[in-house]
Structure 1
Amino acid sequence: MPSKKDIRPVLNLNFSGATEAFQNITLRPILKLQHSIIILMFKSWAVKHKIRLSSITVEGLKEIWEKSLSKNNAIKNQLLGITIGHFTEEEYETYALNSSEYNKRIFTMIKQRLFDSFEEIKNITE
């Protein structure tokens, strides 16, 4: 049976410190692995809140993130859950030592992933 690390994409990224190493070795590959789920979660959230994805602009997406998603604890907890659920025990121990910083990094990377996937999101059939 493959380990949690075996199913992650391999990313060759540079880093300079322990926090950045955790981000690039653990968080980024997990978020890349979970990309389609992140997009589906956003789509489900948008449909539930009657947001017409086909007609939003990238500025609209940024506004939606800042005004709604960033304040929605339920979706934030789901996004954290689909990330943390892929940690090994050792990775969780590292995460737990500095969870506030890692949570900020997770949300920043997810936000950027949504913005970078704007066309994919916009073209999702509602």
Structure 2
Amino acid sequence: MENRNKLLFELRGITIGNINENCSLEEIFQNETLRPILKSNNNLFIASFKNYINKHKSDFKALSVEKKLGFIENAIQRDIKYRNALKGMVLAWFTLSEFDYYITNSSKLNKRMMNLLIERLRSQVQLFESV
């Protein structure tokens, strides 16, 4: 198990964002765990959303930028099956101790996780032009 943890930390990279004594435990988890996971798996999330567009909205490229941004947010916030798939993609990168912390704080952490994913995809909306 220790080998898995070491490998996960090596693959995910370092903490992203500032951590100080004023940070909440959720913010620390976000910066030490969620942000590195989302960053290291960015290409997977991009591919996943391209697939989502192909299956649900063939005229995505015809939408205005504002509607594209809304589509991204709506897909992640309202499509429970897709949301759960994204959560699973993130949770697979947790260590056991991180998972233990997650299950006791899942509501708050799910909100942070999905908001981070929304912002990540929205900031790369131009990558979905070719879909």
What percent identity do the matched residue pairs reach? 30
Q: Which stretches in structure 2 are left out of the alignment for 5+ residues?
A: none
Q: 2: distance between equivalents of 1:70 and 1:12?
A: 24
Q: 2: distance between equivalents of 1:74 and 1:19?
A: 25
**Number of the residue aligned with 1:115:** 122
Q: 1:47 to 1:31 in 2, by over 3 A?
A: same
Higher helix share: 2
Matched, 1:97 2:104: yes
Give the deviation of 1:18 after TM superposition. 1.2
Give the deviation of 1:53 after TM superposition. 3.6
TM-score normalised per structure 1: 0.88
Q: 1: distance between equivalents of 2:114 and 2:67?
A: 18
**Number of the residue aligned with 1:85:** 92
Q: CA RMSD in A?
A: 1.7
Residue deviations 1:60-94 (CA, integer Å, cap 9, x gap)? 12221344442111110110001000000010011
Residue deviations 1:92-117 (CA, integer Å, cap 9, x gap)? 01111100000000000000001110
Matched, 1:46 2:49: no
Q: Which stretches in structure 1 are left out of the alignment for 5+ residues?
A: none
Aligned length: 124
**Residue identity matched to 2:8:** K
